[in-house]
Chains A and B, each alone.
Chain A
Amino acid sequence: MRPRWHKVFRDLRSSPTRTIMVVISIAIGVFAFGAILATRTIIIEQLHTSYMAINPLSATITTDAFDDDLVDAVRRVPGVAQAQGVRAVNARIATGPQQWQDTTLFVLPDDGVRDIGVVKPWHGAWPPPKNAVLIERASLKKIKAAVGDIVRIEIVGQDARDIPVAGLTYDLSLPPAVISGQADGYITFDTLVWLGGPRSYNQIQFVVSAGRADVAHIQAIADEVGRVIERSGRTVINTDVPIPPLQHPVELILPTILFILTTLGFLSLLISGFLIINTISAILTQQTRQIGIMKAIGARADQITGLYFALSAGFGVLALFVAVPLGILGAYGMTRFMSDQLNVDVVNFRFPLWVLGLQMLAALIVPMVTAAVPIRAVVNRPAREALNGETSAPPVGKDAPAGRLYEALNLSRPTRLALRNTFRRRGRLVRTLIALALGGGVFITVMTVRTSLFTTLDESIASQRYDVEVQFSRSYRDSLANQSVLRVPGVTSVESLLRNTAFPVYPDGTNGEGLNMRAMPANTSMFAPRMTSGRWLLPTDGQAVVLTTNYLTKVPSVRVGDEITLHINGNDYTWHVVGFIEEMVPPTSPAWAYVTIDAYTQALGGVGRTDTLRVGSVGHDAASHTAISMALEQRLTADGFALRLIHTRTEDRDILTERFNILTGVLTMMSMIIGTVGGLGLAGTMSINVLERTREIGVMRAIGASDEAVQQIVLSEGLVIGVIAWLIGTIISVPMSMGMCYAFGKALLNTPLSWIYSVSGVALWLGIVLLIASVASILPARSASRLTVREVLAYE
């Protein structure tokens, strides 16, 4: 091997601390970048592959009760490849004394084999045994039971029965339980009948034989299927064609999460780049004289450039040894976390080779590209200057304004020296500040988004000014229901509502996804809507409707003032959109439509009746909610009311909090990585600064400076850099966090988050910065002060 390459290898080995700093700087960026890209790829691939493997449906049509004859008729419709009848019933499972979990029970064929939206056995019994239930694995936590336990289950309008949880299933056709907020169970028709349900289907699902991704084609086939259903004497209640087809429900929110992660990956690499420039510059500064010697003995600029490019690439190769295994581990951890949250099975965790290739490229290219500028600057310096060790033009003149400022502040001589040192290498200072300020900015932004997320959640919960909502399985006279509720001790108020499912009818005559409709008094005291546009309902309103903003995800063109047609109970009604309100509802969930109870009953009947009560109580904490919920259930059951569901605001908040676990998890990971990268930047820069001034420290000690005085100078410098970076980071975090709260909220909740600046994040980051600055300055300063004056003066 040529001697020059020996130099590269020995340079890598000669200063382990410096090499470790550079390697970590590169590795952290390459690691974050690789882990994130791999996670993104694996999750998207696995989700898509797994979803396609269950044979996802092309459309679902809800109709009146039917049997296998109609299914057979649908199978014969040209263009239909497969069809199946489905029965889904609303139920609830007891999770404790008087505590229930909203649950959907799906009927599976006796052999458990469903052709469309295949449900797989996961654990325990299969197919569902008679008079037993299987639970979708992601919702087991929600029912607070284990396989083998007996749970109390009640379908709407029927008596509760005890039933064993015989096993678990895996159903990828459903949104994960953490997002839907409900549990899912599987039974046979025999079990449904035993629970009091009907032995008939109410939905038909089918798969088209061609053009499975073509919405128009699917819609045309669905129309034909609808005609077949109608010819059988049944009514088509709703036709639902998923848009886009072949997309798992979580794929709607996944791009936002993955975009945030990818941005973080690139940001880490960018910050890493700044750190590399600083470290390579420092190495070149240290080796300026060596470069001069090489020039003097005949080395051309391109040969020296090649040497330092090779050195940079060498750092990159070493970084790969750290970044690749860490990246694989990181990708594995993140994939596990996300797949758990999304209820996706990662069958084969295979780190994508192209990501590995990209990591290799990044580890080699980023150091070389970032090092190009400092290498060029030093290599092009005239040989005489390089031999003299001159790395930059010496300062000219007096630093007059700064000097006057130091005088005015009456700063001590060591502090002035520290301040001058801070600003001596402006390029390095700027890069350190960019890296650290960017790190700080993102850290505070992430903390702010987290705070804002929970504030928005609290506001959303607070807008619901009731404590408990009671849903009956049918309607009752509201006076009777109110009377019964008001007899419960602790109840302060009650309001009667009617609920329904309304299907938007599009101009082409097709129906959209069902809306949760609530008819309530216009001057309700139980709901404080947060309007985003338009206004709330007025008592004088006719057929006016207020929609939640996630309706716009499904029908983006609707505006205040428009008229929409809603298909309710088999008839079409036209409603005038008067406003949009914010509610913390993910895009995957149905939108909500609010109308006045007067307008509703005028159109659909039911004057003086209610099927939903909103109840106010004395206590508003979790314990009070549980107590009042139990008391209400006992009273209403005793008075003969058939209950469908009782839920409290505490439970609603828990569901929402759980729903955002994945987001807060991602945000926490993000802040940790960015914090590490930023902190590393400061640590690296401070170490380099101190190492570079080892000789200067020796001179100071030779003229009488104590170790304490030296450490004070170094520490002050570190703290000054840290505080400046913290200040810049704090300033840039304001617009960054505002933008992120807006984008984050719009993408995931259809409404910007309520921006609440995280003061604790600012304080925490200041603490972290000061700690890193202190440790990173003091350690090398102490090492330097341990050297004898002779050793220090000879240091090069």
Chain B
Amino acid sequence: MTATSTGEVLISLHNVIKEYETAAGAYVALRGINLRIDRGEFVAIVGKSGSGKSTLINMITGIDRSTSGEVRVAGVDLGGLSEGKLAVWRGRTIGIIFQFFQLLPTLTVAENVMLPMDFCNIGTARDRRTRAAALLERMDLSEQADKLPAALSGGQQQRVAIARALANDPPLLVADEPTGNLDSRTADSIFHLFEQLAEQGKTVVMVTHDKDLSNRAGRAVVVADGQIVDPPVHPPVA
């Protein structure tokens, strides 16, 4: 359903190629990707396992670098940033949500949410606590704030991960199979959260296997064998 595109380009990839050296030789994960995502869009990236969709997300988040081509996100050419600058930029610009939640096991729920603000030196300690509490309340997790992640269900952990992704109020949320490890009911509630965030003006890029969920996104980008398949209109998913 939703997509409130403003027409302002937030993400643009031009002829992006990514090769990996493996024991078996060079492996091309992305073969000349061209993609544009506007600010406020809710985009689902779909494709079979090994198609290159996670690699594509890694290009957008700057977690990995392209072998050639240009990746620009929020007006910044990621290829021109050092690892250190990239980390700071990422912390302030992108909220990342992983399939397996990836919360730090030794920090409480609230501390996990405060951590990005801590690393990016956003606000005072009091501001961070207040914001973390607000985000957790929004995720209906206030009572879990002082618990360690291991004490929470999968759905709760993913909501903590979303709260953490929102901590620095980034314009872009990137989620890699955020519902892949959840039951359908919980997955639906998590997806609904993303819909709400997109409606509130966040740009959401989500990798998913779920055909129904991808259908609910504003746009679906299909990736197969390292390329975006044309026409990119809700293809069948694996």
Per-residue CB contact flags for chain B residues 56-75 toward chain A (1 = under 8 Å, else 0) read 00100111110000000000
Residues of A within 8 A of B115 (CB): 3-4, 7, 294, 297
The interface residues of chain B, by DSSP majority, are classed as: helix
Residues in A whose Cβ lies below 8 Å from that of B91: 297-299
Docked pose: A3 CA to B120 CA in angstroms: 12
Encode contact with A along B16-59: 1 for CB under 8 Å, 0 otherwise: 00000001000000000000000000000000000000000010
Contacts of A73 in B (CB 8 A): none
| Distance between B98 CB and nearest chain A CB, rounded to angstroms | 8
- Answer whether residue A404 sits at the interface, using C-beta atoms and an 8 A cutoff: no
In the complex, what's the smallest C-beta–C-beta distance from A306 to chain B, in angstroms? 11
* B182 close to A (CB within 8 Å): no
Given A301-B84, A387-B63, A293:B102 Cβ within 8 A: yes
Chain A positions 1 through 33: 1 when the CB is less than 8 Å from some CB of chain B, otherwise 0 = 011101100110010000000000000000000
Cβ of B150 to closest chain A Cβ, rounded Å: 10
Are the CB atoms of B104 and A293 closer together than 8 Å?
yes
Q: How far is the CB of A11 from chain B (nearest CB, A)?
A: 6
Cβ-defined partner of A298 (8 Å) among B23, B111, B119: B119
Per-residue interface assignment for chain A, residues 358 to 402, with 1 indicating a CB less than 8 Å from any chain B CB and 0 otherwise? 000000000000000000000010111001000000101100000
Instruction: Judge if A289 is at the interface, Cβ distance under 8 Å.
Output: yes
How far is A155 from B49 in the complex, measured between Cα atoms in Å? 103
Task: Report the minimum CB–CB distance from A694 to chain B (whole Å).
Answer: 15
Q: Is A649 an interface residue (CB 8 A)?
A: no
Of the four ranges (under 10, 10 to 19, 20 to 34, 35 or more), the interface on chain A belongs to 20 to 34
Determine the distance from Cα of A383 to Cα of B104 in the docked complex, in whole angstroms: 16
A300 within 8 A of B: yes
Specify the chain B residue showing the minimal Cβ separation from A6: B111
- Contact in complex: A301, B83 (CB < 8 Å): yes
B64, A297: Cβ atoms under 8 Å?
no
- Cβ-closest chain B residue relative to A383: B63
- Per-position binary interface string of chain B over residues 159-171, scored 1 when its CB falls under 8 Å from any chain A CB and 0 otherwise: 0000011011000
Max chain B Cβ within 10 angstroms of own Cβ: one of A11, A382, A384? A384
Closest to A382 in B: B64
Is there contact, CB below 8 Å, between B107 and A10?
Answer: yes
Nearest chain A CB to B110 CB, angstrom units: 8
Instruction: Using A3-B118, A293-B102, A383-B63 as known contacts, say yes or no to A298 and B164 having CB atoms under 8 A apart.
Output: no
Residue from B64, B107, B115, B167 with most neighbouring chain A CB atoms (10 Å): B115
Question: Is B96 an interface residue, CB under 8 A from the partner?
Answer: yes
Give the contacting residue for B107; candidates A3, A299, A382, A384; CB below 8 A: A3
Would you call A296 and B106 a contact (CB within 8 A)? no
Chain A residues whose C-beta falls within 8 Å of the C-beta of B23 in the assembled complex:
394, 396-397
Q: A300-B84, A301-B84 are in contact. Are A290 and B104 (CB under 8 A)?
A: yes
- Complex contact B63–A299 (CB within 8 A): no
Identify the closest chain A residue to B101 (Cβ): A293
Chain B residue at smallest Cβ distance from A307: B119
Is A303 part of the contact surface with B, judged by Cβ < 8 Å?
yes
The reply to whether A294 and B58 contact each other, CB–CB distance below 8 Å, is no
B209 at interface (Cβ–Cβ under 8 A)?
A: no
Q: Kindly report which residue of chain B lies nearest to residue A385, judged by CB atoms.
A: B64
Question: In this assembly, does A567 line the interface, its C-beta being within 8 Å of a C-beta of chain B?
Answer: no
Are B111 and A302 interface neighbours, CB within 8 A? Answer: no
Selected from B102, B125, B165, the residue in CB contact (under 8 A) with A2 is: B125
Residue among A14, A297, A303, A394 with max Cβ neighbours from chain B (10 Å): A297
A431 at the interface (CB under 8 A from B): no
For B87, give its contact among A290, A301, A384, A397 (CB under 8 Å).
Answer: A301
Residues of A close to B165: CB separation below 8 A: 297
CB of B92 within 8 Å of the partner chain: yes
Chain B residues with CB below 8 A from A3, complex form: 107, 111-112, 114-115, 118
Cβ of B76 under 8 Å from chain A: no
Q: What is the bound-complex CA distance between A452 and B111, given in angstroms? A: 62
Residue B88 is within 8 A (CB to CB) of chain A in the complex: yes
Is the pair A299, B104 in contact by a Cβ cutoff of 8 Å?
no
When C-beta atoms are compared, the residue in chain B nearest to A384 turns out to be: B64
Complex: how many Å from CA A277 to CA B125? Answer: 34
Looking at the assembled complex, report how far the CB atom of A392 sits from the nearest CB atom of chain B, in whole angstroms.
Answer: 14
Question: A586-614: which have CB < 8 Å to B?
Answer: none
B131 to chain A, nearest CB (A): 12
Query: Are B102 and A4 in contact, with the CB atoms below 8 A?
Result: no
When chains A and B are docked, how far (Å) is the Cα of A441 from the Cα of B83?
A: 45
B226 proximal to A (CB < 8 A) = no
- Looking at B62, B63, B90, the one whose CB has the most chain A CB atoms below 10 A away is B63
Output the nearest chain A residue to B164 by Cβ-Cβ distance: A297
B155 at the interface (CB under 8 A from A): no
> A384 contacts B58, CB within 8 Å?
yes
| CB closest residue in chain A, given B115 | A3
Q: Which residues of A contact B167 (CB under 8 A)?
A: 297
When chains A and B are docked, how far (Å) is the Cα of A289 from the Cα of B99?
Answer: 13
Give A332-351 interface residues, CB cut-off 8 Å to B: none
Inter-chain contact A4/B64, CB cutoff 8 Å: no
Q: Does A416 contact B (CB under 8 A)?
A: no
The answer to whether the Cβ of A92 comes within 8 Å of any Cβ in the partner chain is no
Compute how far the CA of A384 lies from the CA of B115 in the bound complex, rounded to whole angstroms: 20
Over the window 393-430 of chain A, the binary record of Cβ atoms lying under 8 Å from chain B Cβ atoms (1 yes, 0 no) is: 01011000000000000000000000000000000000
Chain A 289-319 interface 0/1 with B at a Cβ cutoff of 8 Å (1 = within): 1100111111111110000000000000000
Rounded to whole Å, the gap between the CB of A659 and the closest CB of chain B is 58
- Nearest-neighbour CB distance to chain B for A606, whole angstroms, equals 89
Q: Which chain A residue lies CB-closest to B95?
A: A297
Q: How far is the CA of A301 from the CA of B111 in the complex (A)?
A: 20
Enumerate chain A residues within 8 angstroms of B65, measured Cβ to Cβ. Answer: 382
Query: CB distance A302 to B84 under 8 Å?
Result: yes
Q: Which of B108, B116, B119, B168 is packed against the most chain A CB atoms within 10 Å? A: B119
| Neighbouring B residues of A11 by C-beta, 8 Å | 106
Residues of A within 8 A of B63 (CB): 295-296, 382-384, 387
Extra contacts besides A7-B106, A297-B119, A387-B98 (17): CB < 8 Å: A7-B111, A14-B105, A14-B106, A289-B102, A290-B104, A293-B98, A293-B104, A294-B115, A296-B61, A296-B63, A296-B90, A296-B96, A298-B87, A298-B92, A299-B91, A301-B83, A384-B63
Can you list 18 pairs linking A and B with CB atoms under 8 Å apart?
A3-B112, A294-B115, A297-B90, A297-B91, A297-B96, A297-B115, A297-B119, A298-B90, A298-B92, A299-B119, A301-B83, A302-B84, A303-B119, A382-B83, A383-B64, A387-B98, A397-B23, A796-B105
- Give the interface of B toward A (CB within 8 A): 23, 58, 61-65, 83-84, 87-88, 90-92, 96, 98, 102, 104-108, 111-112, 114-116, 118-120, 125, 164-165, 167-168
| A residues with CB within 8 A of B | 2-4, 6-7, 10-11, 14, 289-290, 293-303, 380, 382-384, 387, 394, 396-397, 796
